[in-house]
Chains A and B, each alone.
Chain A
Amino acid sequence: MKRRDFMLATGFAAGALMLPRMSFGAEGVIDVYFTSDQNVIDFWTNTVKPAFEAANSGITLNLVDGGDGAGVSAIADRALAALASGSDPQADLFEGFDSRVTVDGIAKGLYVDFEKAGLSNYSKINPLAFDIPTNLPYRGSQVLLAYDTTKLDPANVPKTWADLVAWIKANPGQFIYNRPNKGGSGGNFVRRAIFEANGNDPTKFSVDNYTQESGDAMLNPAWDILKDLAPSLFDGGAYTSGNTQSIQLLSQSAVTMIPAWSDQTLSAIAQGALPETTGLVQLQDLGLPGGFTKLAVLSNGANKDAALKLADFLLTEEIQSAVLTELGGYPGVSWDHVSAELRERFADIIPTTIPTFPGGDWEKAVNDGWYRAVAPNVDPAS
């Protein structure tokens, strides 16, 4: 053997030995990356992981907190590069993820198409939750109004959109919602205004019916509603930059009412971040919309089949019921597919329909349109 070849060979061997073991996607270990908050990861650790591992011996879950959407989409970008080079992406499943985020990811086949994946529970999914075939919805939650009962008597709390608008105008500075792209609580408040401007009919919006013209025709009236509200909002038209900041303003008693996620508010009250005197109310004419959390499975992951098994497992009655009881969320499957006992127990609290607003082009139009039409009308120096 020539000296150069020898050096190369030993170099490779030494390099391989030095590589940390974790750097290979291990056989039988599903690497799950989360964009969701700690309460969701806790739910997986305490409920999903033990149940799945007990049902599938030899397969274990490695749950990794990806930080936020940007953190996980960076891992997805790496997986796309791995797909091109035929190497191991070292990841299998992304939780709380929209596969559209990876530029060219869907076109290049990075994500499993769930319509063709043959999941036995796929047909149980709530029809409202479907987005695109590479996103699998598995849990949902809804936005409601959280308010300070010491300042607003629960008997007088607004229960329709018209009452809410009247209340906001009668109590200037006591309401704030966050920027629609920075958190679902404000995002879904804005979407509720869009429904209001379109006859309270969520079926008018679907993931594939956005066009520039229909977008302008349907969204511009909603921007007018929101612009009309702006001077009566906190600080004459300020918008927080996230769900948490809105909750902080409510807890500092700076405002009286905010839109908030049901599960986030309940846990904030439980942890003392919001006082016990916080009241919750849902609009009765049409609820504030909710959303479904989706996941994506990598087509080039080392444990793709096991990850699909896990995705199917998440849609079983066992886990979907636990989403209700343990996580405080809503099931991703239709209500017919959770146990009858639970269906009865939650019937009063949870409406049988959650208005949903499609993602994709509509979401883009909302995120762009609100910033251009509603937000700048606020004079920052006012």
Chain B
Amino acid sequence: MTASDQIGSVTPVRRRPYGLLLVATPVLLVAWLVIWPIISAVIQTVWTTTPQGQGAVSLDTYSFFFSDGYSLSNLSMTLWTTGVCAVLLLVVCLPIALYLRFSNTRVAVYVQGLAIFPMFVPSIILSFAFIRVLGPNGTVDLLLNSVGLPHIRSPYLTPWGPVIGLVWDNIPLTVLILLSGLGSVSNQAVEAARDVGAGTLALLWHIILPRISNSILVAISFAVLGIFSAFTLPYILGPAAPEMMGPFMQRTFRELLEPKTAITQAVVTFGFCIVFGLFYVRSVAKNRAA
């Protein structure tokens, strides 16, 4: 570089390239390890070689996917699981986050520790522990039986198995994101509302929720992205069919040895995930602009 550049770099306008240089590494890595595989996956699924040896664009694998009842039921199963998990996560995590934000007691510290704990449990261990506890003749069953209550119908190997496992697994991240959002709700605002006579529900609806709507969106996007492509929990705890997309893709790739079909399933999955990714990006952009 020349001397004039260095002198020029003192002015704010000329400093910009340095900032870009700093982000160049992650941007290049993302382009190489994320963007390029996506493009190459899409190309692989639409580009076929005709029997004459010529390349041609064909959407056969996609039309098979969207006309195949089995694939579609797997997709709708995945959407159902993701949706139910997202709702349950919000129902479970919002009260925990609110409690942690507004409580100063010692118990809150333990509750926070407990809420973060699932983060440190590998999902394979969680799965087998789940079978032990909630499975047939598991701990819950034994406890219920000991006080004369009937057997529960175990959620193991039903669609509710992965739902319970995934919700438990995603609690820490959701609570942490909601908690950071609740940090922007000032005590003064809450007290001011209380002073003018706002009840608990009104406080939640008019003061707290509007301020954390962004965090809720981010938390849900993160959870949805993880759940949509989850593998271990649906694989071990879920029913044989319909499968979620994660196990379905893996099975198509490894056991049916049909990489192209598997990539098509991956592209479809990606198409759904990108919607939530865009939600997240939009909310971050909105935050930066504000």
Q: Which residues of A contact B (CB under 8 A)?
A: 69-70, 73, 100-101, 103, 179, 181, 234-235, 238-242, 245, 248-249, 252-254, 363-364, 367-368, 371-372, 375-376, 378, 380-381
Contacts and interface: CB of A to CB of B under 8 A. Distances in A.
B157 A371 contact: no
B242 A376 contact: yes
B254 A241 contact: no
Contact of A367 (B137, B243, B251): B251
Contacts of A380: 158-159, 239, 242
Given A252-B136, A376-B73, A245 B131 contact: yes
Query: Taking chain A's interface residues, is the majority helix, strand, or loop, or is none over half, making it mixed?
Result: helix
B241 A181 contact: no
Contacts of A103: 257, 259
Contacts of B158: 235, 238, 380-381
Contacts of A69: 254
Query: Taking chain B's interface residues, is the majority helix, strand, or loop, or is none over half, making it mixed?
Result: loop
A364 B137 contact: no
Nearest to B73: A376
B241 A375 contact: yes
A236 to B, nearest CB: 10
A368 B256 contact: yes
B157 A372 contact: no
A380 B156 CA distance: 11
Interface residues of B, number: 29
Contacts of B242: 376, 380
A375 B135 CA distance: 20
B31 interface: no
Given A254-B136, A375-B239, 16 more contacts: A70-B254, A100-B257, A181-B251, A234-B136, A235-B158, A239-B157, A241-B240, A242-B236, A245-B131, A245-B236, A248-B135, A249-B136, A252-B136, A253-B137, A364-B257, A367-B251
A375 B240 contact: yes
A376 B255 contact: no
A73 B254 CA distance: 10
Interface of B: 70, 73, 128, 131-132, 135-138, 153-154, 156-159, 235-236, 238-243, 251, 254-257, 259
A364 B255 contact: yes
A131 to B, nearest CB: 14
A235 B254 contact: no
B255 to A, nearest CB: 5
Contacts of A368: 256
Contacts of A363: 255
A252 B153 CA distance: 15
Nearest to B158: A380
B159 A252 contact: no
B126 to A, nearest CB: 14
Contact of A238 (B128, B239, B243, B257): B239
Nearest to B236: A241
Contact of A252 (B138, B241, B257): B138
A375 B255 CA distance: 16
Contacts of B239: 238-239, 375, 378, 380
A179 B254 contact: no
Contact of A248 (B73, B131, B153, B241): B131
A181 B135 contact: no
Given A241-B235, A254-B137, A371 B131 contact: no
- Please list the 9 inter-chain residue pairs (A to B) with the smallest Cβ-Cβ separation, ordered nearest first: A375-B241, A254-B136, A238-B157, A375-B240, A239-B240, A376-B241, A252-B137, A181-B255, A367-B255
Contacts of B153: 235
Contact of A376 (B70, B156, B159): B70
Contacts of A375: 239-241
Nearest to A367: B255
A70 B251 CA distance: 11
B254 A371 contact: no
